[in-house]
Amino acid sequence: LMIGPPGKHRGCCGSSKSSNAISRIVGGTSTEEGEWPWQVSLHFVGAAYCGASVISKEWLVSAAHCFQGSNLNCSEVECALLFYLSHCWQFVSAVRRIIVHEYYNSRNYDYDIALLQLSKPWPDTMSHVIQPICVPPFSHKVRSGDKCWITGWGQKQEAGLFLCSSAVLQKAEVEIIDQTLCHSTYGIITARMFCAGLMSGKRDGCKGDSGGPLSCQSNRDGKWFLTGIVSWGYGCGRPNFPGVYTRVSNFAPWIHKYVPSVLEGLQKVSSILLNLQGTHFWVLWLSMEKSIALSPSPTFILINWMIWSY
């Protein structure tokens, strides 16, 4: 998890010490400590494969396609989350369950959302380390041209090996793209998807960033909301092909069914933060005793040309 010194608004979601410097994941620059304290990197058998976001003391949000083809029954497969910092194990927690949306469609990435529940909440001793991002209500809207941010440790360019991914969390400021333009670009955009990036290219998520957050800041109170989840796109940072994201507000009732606290009042969501002592991030490892196929490599579909799911 990308975490750092405590934010200004302890005890509530969406607080960060974010700056406004422009950067990008594809060919981007590094983040600062504590800028995106809800960012999580998921690892499987020692290799990073997806991102996720902290939304409460015991729940994470990610993309459904990160768990495509998996045996997700944690009562049969022992799951564990291990937190890693400076080559030392810091915290271990069993995973109670991984919930992939029941309508997830692997052919077009519709309903591309999943929840991960820990078997126990973060201990109070970690209440100064991690910050959850706010889950937007169903009424939450973003407009074409609004500026938001994507973050991740994925590849910094389209070509090359996955080993070219960044060791330090990267960030990019992107624009929300008009939904009509988004649909005309890809032709398979549903109401549960939206596009963001730059039509000129150069700022985008890439392989390894799937499941990570698209974070938008409220002009009213400065809180950060999990507006989107990195889902799929044509290449990485290509002109005229912005990234496609899961529209989280459409899933507010679904999230609320499993995590009632996140929508009953944003002030009630527990804050979780930790002093990193000069390091830039924590990493969340997902390990399992039995081998399962989690999608460590990008999946793709072919519709006249290749579309990557990041």
Helix-strand-coil percent breakdown of the chain, rounded to 5?
A: 10, 35, 55
The region, left, alpha or beta by phi > 0 then psi within -120 to 50, assigned to residue 284 is beta
The catalytic residues are 65, 112, 210
Residues contacting residue 117 through CB under 8 Å, at least 6 positions apart = 58, 59, 95, 96, 97, 98, 99, 258
- Cα torsion 104, 310, 227, 131: sign: positive
| CA 197 from centre of chain | 16
**CA-CA distance, 82 to 85, in Å (whole number)?**
10
Alpha-carbon distance of 111 to 219, in angstroms, equals 28
CA geometry: angle at 51 spanning 140 and 64, to 5°? 70
Quick one: tokens of 78? 């022992």
The answer to whether 18 and 218 are in contact (CB under 8 A) is no
